[in-house]
Amino acid sequence: MHQYKKILLVAGFFLTCLNISFGQKPTPMLNIQYWKTSTDIPVYFVEAKNPPELLVAVSFAAGSVNEGARWGLSFATNKIIQDGGTQRLSSQEVANEKSDYGCVISGDADKEASTLTLLTLSDQPYQNHCIALYHDTLINPKLSSDTLNQVKQEMLAEQQAQEESPEAQADLAFMEALYQKNPLAHNMLGTPKTVTLLTRGDIIKFYDTYYVRNNAAIFIVGNIEKATAIKLSNQLTKGLPQGQKAPLPDKMKPTESKQHFIVESNQTYIRIGTLFPFKSSTQDRFAQLVGNYILGGGVLVSKLNHVIREQNGLSYNIGSQFLSLKPQKPWLIQLQTKNSDTSKALALTMNTLGEYLAAGPSKKEIHQTKVALINRLPLSISDNSKIMSMLGIIYFNELPIDFLDTYSQNIQAVTYQQILDSFQKHIAPSKLTTVIVGGKP
């Protein structure tokens, strides 16, 4: 999932919401329980008896924003922890134990965080052994030079794949143009030069600095009682230092920018966007959700799709979304079109956006969007992995524990004026970042 892990989670969640009729009192969809460990680490827990499994994740503020000039360091560190074995066991021995006891230990890193996840059966002999192995992997990773060299080769191969994908190049170029010199700008896989220069010392220093209790959050979902989950949460990070909390990147001022990159491609990929404040009132947050769904987030039922695809046949794929990043969240329109249609598609997209900012949505569009957004939540929490994703969304987006329970009433409360005010306040057509990547027209 790389850079857009949380982006996809947030987009997937916000397109799936409560299955409650208008006017009905909200009922709890998930019994989310929250506490802090004895060392002050936040814990999010949902007991789910079926299927008989346990999902555990420990996430750290150890993303690519924290790696300074050593681009790729966050990704490499997370990958080495997953694959490199422990101080007690070689990588092959860890693999054997995973196979013998049915443990699945995986990891992920993005711009803001690094996460290590365990999936195990809830039967005690298997669960206890897998938890011990997971703890050993998290607390005592080997971080060897041999594993680092293997990971470097994998990262260089992934960079090459990005170079060969105009769509990936458009995504990367947009973030670079939007964030400029901010640490959120660069590719979390780094560059060939920065990856080649990474050393074992860099990995150890990054791990020691950012894989600490002050940067951690714990998520537990599955067939386990709360008392046992509390005990487990206190055990998971035992052995990690308290450390220092990682700082957030500096805020940026949105600026106008337009870049066009010519590559070998039959299609052109366009990204247009700006920055919204990450923190906002409940009213503003839901106005942005409803307003964006109408403009482009609803994909096939959106204004952008109607004008660009249905009326003019200029794109099979156009939409808009917010990306969950701090301290400011990008909002962007994404589309692809034929090389020969680039100018027309871009002009019509900007015209549609301008009309939306001037007139806002219709009453009918607002009503239909509210119904669509309120009718789908069960799909997004239909299994333990989706529940785990939901807990991550609530934590990373600093949402209240009762967010799901009040979701329906907050959607219903959104007004036309709130949508118009929010989008007019934060989207200035003269200060949009535009990136175009494709073949010659």
pLDDT per position as a tens digit, 127-165: 999 999 999 999 999 999 999 999 999 999 999 999 999
The Cβ-side half-sphere exposure at 195, using a 13 Å CA radius, reads 23
| Average pLDDT for 244-266 | 89
Average pLDDT, rounded, for the chain = 91
| Average pLDDT for 93-121 | 96
- Alpha-carbon gap, residue 83 to 151, rounded angstroms: 9
Single-letter residue type at 248:
L
Q: Where in the chain is the domain with CATH 3.30.830.10?
A: 2-236, 257-376+400-438
**Local confidence band at 300 (pLDDT 50, 70, 90 cut-offs):** confident
Number of Cβ within a 10 Å radius of residue 355:
12
Radius of gyration of the chain (CA): 23
Choose the weakest-confidence range: 78-82, 247-251, 351-355, 423-427: 247-251
pLDDT per position as a tens digit, 87-104: 999 999 999 999 999 999
- Alpha-carbon gap, residue 324 to 74, rounded angstroms: 18
- Alpha-carbon gap, residue 280 to 22, rounded angstroms: 25
Backbone angles phi, psi at 115, to 5 degrees: -135, 140
Kind and range of the H or E element at 36? strand 33-36
Which homologous superfamily does the CATH classification assign to the domain defined by 257-376+400-438? Metalloenzyme, LuxS/M16 peptidase-like (3.30.830.10)
CATH number of 2-236: 3.30.830.10
In this structure, the chain runs to a length of 441
- Alpha-carbon gap, residue 212 to 68, rounded angstroms: 18
Q: Is the pLDDT of residue 235 over 90?
A: yes
| Of 17 and 435, the one with more pLDDT | 435
pLDDT per position as a tens digit, 18-63: 333 334 444 567 899 999 999 999 999 999 988 999 999 999 999 9
Single-letter residue type at 61:
A
Q: What is the pLDDT of residue 27?
A: 53
* Helix spans in 277-329 (H): 282-292, 303-304
Tell me how far apart the 2 most distant CA atoms of the chain are, in Å: 64
